[in-house]
Structure 1
Amino acid sequence: MASDGRMRILEAAKALAESHDSVQGVTISLESVAQKAGLTKPGLMYHFPSKEALMLGLVDHAAEDWARRLREHTGQSSQDLTSFDRHRAYVTVATTAEVSRADYWIFSDALYHPKLSRAWSEHLGPWFDTTGLDDRAVSLLTAARFCADGAWMSEATGVFPSIDLAAVREHALALIDAAETANDPAENTSDNTETEVTE
C-alpha cells in the first residue's frame, strides 16, 4: 500500500512537470504535488519529507524506468551482455521510447544538483560500461550513445526533432558495429595483412 502511495505521488509530480509550457518554467512544490495526488501535505511528507527527497525519488524512479526498459528490450541484465550489445539496446530504446518534456526536466535537473546524478550512475552506469575496450572502440560507442541521447532529448523537448529517427538509429548502430570490429584483434590483424599484401 505504501508503494502505491509513493508511486501516486511520483506520477503526480511528473504530470505537473508535463503540464508546464516549457521545461524552463517547471516548478513544483510539496503542496502542488500533494493536491495533484489527492493527498494532504502531511500525507505526502510521510513518503517524501522534503522537496529534495521528492526530487531524489523522481530521479531514481526515472533512472530505474530506463534500466527496466533496457532489461525488457534485451531480456537480460546488463552484466550478461557485451558492452556492444548494451549500447545497441540503449540506442534502440532511446530512439523508439515515448518521451516527454517531463522526462527531459527530470534528467536535466541533475546537472544542477549533484545528488540527483547518483541515480543515473547507479541504474544506467552498468549499461554504458566500456572497461577493457580499445580506445577507438570506446570513442565509437560514446559517439553512438551521444546520438541516442540527442535523439530522445530532441524528441522530448520538441527542439529540432529528427525527421527520420530510424535513419539516426541505423547510423548509431553502425558506429557500434564499427566499435566491435575495432576491438576485435582478429579483424585488425586481417585488415593489416590485407594492407601489406596490397602494397
Structure 2
Amino acid sequence: MANDGRSRILKAAKSLAESHDSVHGVTISLESVAKKAGLTKPGLMYHFPTKEALMLGLVDHAAENWAQRLRNHTGHSSQDLTSFERHRAYVTVATTAEVSRADYWIFSDALYHPTLSRAWSEHLGPWFDTTGLDGRVVSLLTAARFCADGAWMSEATGVFPSDDLAAVCRHALALIDAAEGMSDDIETEGIG
C-alpha cells in the first residue's frame, strides 16, 4: 500500500511538470503535488518528508523507468549483455520511446543539482559501461549514444525534432556496428 502512495505521488509530480507552461522552468511544491495526488500535505510527507526527498524520488523513478525500458527491450539485465548490445538497446529505446517535456526536465534538472544525477548514474551507468574497450571503439559508442540522447531530448522538448527518427536510429546503430567491427579487428591484431 505504501508503494501505491509513492507511485501516485510521483505520477502527480511528473504530471505537474508536464503541464507546466512557464518559460521560467518548472516549480513543484509539496502542496501542489499533494493536491494533484489527492492527498494532504502530511500524507505526502509520510512518503517524502522534504521537497528534496520528493525530487530525489522523482529522478530515481525516472531513471529506473529508463533502465526498465532497456531491460524490457533486451529481456536481460545490463551485466548479461556486451557493451555493444547495451548501446544498441539504448539507441533503439531512446529513438522509439514515448517521451515528454517532463522526462527532459527531470533529466536536465540533474545538471544543476549534483545529488539528483546520482540516480541516473546508478540506473543507466551500467548500460553505458565501456570498460576494457579501446578508446577508438568507445568514441564510436559515445557518438551513437549522443545521437540517441539528442533524438529523445529533441522529441521530448519539441525543439528541432527529427522528421525521420528511424533513420537516426539506423545511423546510430551503424556507428555501434562499426565500433564492434573495430573491436574485433583490434582483438585480431592483438592476437596475431
TM-score higher than 0.5: yes
Quote the Cα distance in structure 2 between the aligned partners of 1:89 and 1:22: 34
Structure with higher Rg: it is 1
Q: Identify the residue that residue 65 of structure 2 maps to in structure 1.
A: 65
- State the one-letter code of the partner of 1:58: L
Stretches of structure 2 lacking an aligned partner (at least 5 in a row):
none
What residue in structure 2 maps to residue 193 of structure 1?
none
Q: Distance in 1 between matches of 2:29 and 2:104?
A: 18
Provide the C-alpha distance between the structure 2 equivalents of 1:76 and 1:18, rounded to a whole number of angstroms.
Answer: 31
Aligned length: 189
Does 1:110 find its partner at 2:114? no
Aligned AA (2:78): S
Work out the CA distance in 1 between the residues paired with 2:186 and 2:130.
Answer: 19
Contact 1:134 1:182 in 2 (8 A): no
What is the match of residue 25 of structure 1? 25
Q: What is the letter of the counterpart of residue 174 of structure 1?
A: A
Q: In structure 2, what is the equivalent of residue 158 of structure 1?
A: 158
- Match in the other structure for 2:85: 85
Identity of aligned residues (%): 87
Aligned partner of 1:123 in structure 2 is 123
- Map Cα deviations across residues 89-128 of structure 1 (whole Å, 9 max, x no partner): 0000000000000000000000010000000000000000
CA distance in structure 2 between the aligned counterparts of 1:125 and 1:22, rounded to whole angstroms: 32
Q: Secondary structure at the match of 1:183?
A: helix
After superposition, the Cα gap between the structure-2 partners of 1:160 and 1:32, relative to the gap in structure 1 and judged at 3 Å, is same
Equivalent residue number for residue 8 of structure 1: 8
Q: TM-score, normalised by structure 1?
A: 0.92
Kindly state the Cα deviation for residue 26 of structure 1 after the two structures are TM-superposed. 1.1
- 1:174-189 matches, within 5 Å, as 174-185=174-185, 189=189
RMSD between aligned residues: 1.2
Deviations 1:22-49, CA, capped at 9 Å, x for gaps: 5743111000000000100000000000
TM normalised by structure 2 equals 0.96
Alignment-mate amino acid for residue 41 of structure 2 = K
**1:50 is the counterpart of 2:27:** no
Q: Distance in 2 between matches of 1:29 and 1:186?
A: 53
Which deviations, in whole Å up to 9, do the C-alpha atoms of 1:77-96 show, x marking residues without a partner? Answer: 10000000000000000000
Gaps of 5+ in 1: 190-199
Runs ≥4 residues deviating over 3 A: 185-189
**CA distance in structure 1 between the partners assigned to 2:63 and 2:187 by the alignment:** 36
**Partner residue of 1:100?**
100
1:35 corresponds to 2:60: no
